[in-house]
């Protein structure tokens, strides 16, 4: 077992785990995966009776293609036995600890990337040797390896954060420094935190997916659905150079991921969030439903052409206009039922990376951004908890109550939340976002988008 993965959710099982399985098939190596759930036993309880194997189902316009994946060898549930998780991470055979814990799992302030020392899990982890948070497990496990005279494992984040490896390295060093400056120095010198860019649309698995597979003779309590497209760009920086042969199976191993991640975070994730908030408010349940509406199709194409692409430097060999067209075709795939509500989760953590960075650069360059301003206003309406039809919205966000209180007070109160908006950017956004929010209130989301598009 060469890899421990924190946060064994649907995305990693449909993306990274598939690549690792293919790399082992191509070139060998002991890269089996031990999954760790940091919260609930749901995934472990579903996978254990089937030997931790599962089916990854490609959903294309032409139909479904199921494939059995058997690279996961066990799953531990951290709250049940945190010591067992630490022991596994400290094992000499483990060379990589990878993560998909979502933005909120880093226990950091998205506005500045530093660890949030007031986060309840970080408060706990600073006082207790058996941690709760992903940064806590990383730091305590690295401390065990240092004490045993072992090299550190490579820490490889697979979450949608710009410069995700740098962010995670900073968070880990912040926590390590607070516990043991000597440990922090060792991690900084010996450790590796490669940046990565991951891309594959993985909608939540629904009961009817499980039933449909069962009708085909495939019994699986936890299959994963995914689109045909996939991409993984990885900074080739690993402790001792030890990693699966990812290049043999299509992973792009590069010296600098930055241009790729900006392209993906801003062009895919940024427009995904814009469509999720405004589309949900307008009554659209999925992304494919949203872009089937010609008003939203014009809107998203305008976002790419006029507001996002002008703020990007294309990665080597990439044509951004062609990438935008390919994204639109992926969004329109009717087989992928990616719910706007699912994408809208945790917006306070996602907005800075997906949309605010582009807005900041456009403001600095004097480029207008009416569509992105409307997207931010859409998020503000969404976290207020009521859609355009007057129906209640179940807002899932670590700051949900704080956001609702601020939303009741208006745009200025939301812009004053420093966990989301840096002060200088908030001041620059206020006129445009206030006007966009007023149009949303007066017209509703679809009419406001139509007026703009």
Res 225 pLDDT > 80:
yes
Domains in the chain (CATH in brackets) are 3-254 (3.40.50.720), 258-452 (1.10.1040.10)
pLDDT digits (tens, 9 = 90+) for 387-397: 999 999 999 99
pLDDT digits (tens, 9 = 90+) for 141-196: 999 999 999 999 999 999 988 899 999 999 999 999 999 999 999 999 999 999 99
d(CA 219, CA 66): 12
Tokens of 103: 């933005």
Res 140 pLDDT > 90:
yes
Q: Do residues 346 and 397 make contact, with C-beta atoms less than 8 angstroms apart? A: yes
Provide the pLDDT confidence category of residue 317 given band limits of 50, 70 and 90: confident
Res 453 pLDDT > 90:
no
Please report, for residues 89, 139, 167, 180, the alpha-carbon distance to residue 82 in angstroms, rounded to integers and kept in the order given: 11, 13, 24, 20
pTM of this structure: 0.88
Averaged confidence pLDDT in the chain: 96
pLDDT reported for residue 289: 97
Provide the pLDDT confidence category of residue 337 given band limits of 50, 70 and 90: confident
State mean pLDDT over 422-443: 97
Res 111 pLDDT > 80:
no
Tokens of 230: 């996939």
Strands 231-235 and 63-69: unpaired
Provide the pLDDT confidence category of residue 103 given band limits of 50, 70 and 90: confident
d(CA 388, CA 366): 32
């Amino acid at each position: 077992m060469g890899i421990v993965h924190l946060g064994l959710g649907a995305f990693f099982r449909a993306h990274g785990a598939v690549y690792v399985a293919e790399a082992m098939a191509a070139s060998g190596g002991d890269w089996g995966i031990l999954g760790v759930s940091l919260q609930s036993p749901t995934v472990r309880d579903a996978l254990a009776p089937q030997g931790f194997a599962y089916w990854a189902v490609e959903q294309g316009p032409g139909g479904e293609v199921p494939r059995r994946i058997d690279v996961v060898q066990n799953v531990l549930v951290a709250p049940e036995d945190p010591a067992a998780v630490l022991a596994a991470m400290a094992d000499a055979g483990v060379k990589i600890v990878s993560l998909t814990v979502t933005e909120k799992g880093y226990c950091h302030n998205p506005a500045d990337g530093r660890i949030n020392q007031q986060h309840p899990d970080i408060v706990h982890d600073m006082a207790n040797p058996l941690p709760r948070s992903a940064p806590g497990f990383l730091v305590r496990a690295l401390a065990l390896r240092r004490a045993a005279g072992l090299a550190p494992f490579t820490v490889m984040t697979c979450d949608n954060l710009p410069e995700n490896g740098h962010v995670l390295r900073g968070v880990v060093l912040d926590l390590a420094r607070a516990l043991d400056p000597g440990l922090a120095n060792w991690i900084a010198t010996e450790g590796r935190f490669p940046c990565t860019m991951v891309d594959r649309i993985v909608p939540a698995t629904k009961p009817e997916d499980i039933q449909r597979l069962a009708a085909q003779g495939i019994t699986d309590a936890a299959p994963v659905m995914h689109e045909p497209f996939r991409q993984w760009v990885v900074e080739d920086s690993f402790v001792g150079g030890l990693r699966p042969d990812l290049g043999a199976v299509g992973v792009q191993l590069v010296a600098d991921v930055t241009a790729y991640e900006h392209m993906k975070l801003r062009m895919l994730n940024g427009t995904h969030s814009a469509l999720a908030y405004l589309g949900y408010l307008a009554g659209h349940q999925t992304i494919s439903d949203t872009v089937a509406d010609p008003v939203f199709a014009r809107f998203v194409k305008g976002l790419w052409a006029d507001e996002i692409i002008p703020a990007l430097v294309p990665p080597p060999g990439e044509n951004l206009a062609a990438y935008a067209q390919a994204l639109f075709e992926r969004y329109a795939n009717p087989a992928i039922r990616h719910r706007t509500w699912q994408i809208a989760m945790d917006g306070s953590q996602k907005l800075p990376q997906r949309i605010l960075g582009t807005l900041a650069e456009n403001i600095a360059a004097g480029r207008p951004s009416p569509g992105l301003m409307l997207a931010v206003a859409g998020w503000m309406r969404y976290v207020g908890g009521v859609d355009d039809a007057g129906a209640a919205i179940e807002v899932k966000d670590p700051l949900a109550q704080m956001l609702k209180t601020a939303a009741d007070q208006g745009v200025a109160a939301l812009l004053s939340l420093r966990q989301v908006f840096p002060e200088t950017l908030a001041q620059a956004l206020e006129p445009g976002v206030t006007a966009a929010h007023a149009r949303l209130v007066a017209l509703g989301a679809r009419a406001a988008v139509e007026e703009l598009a």
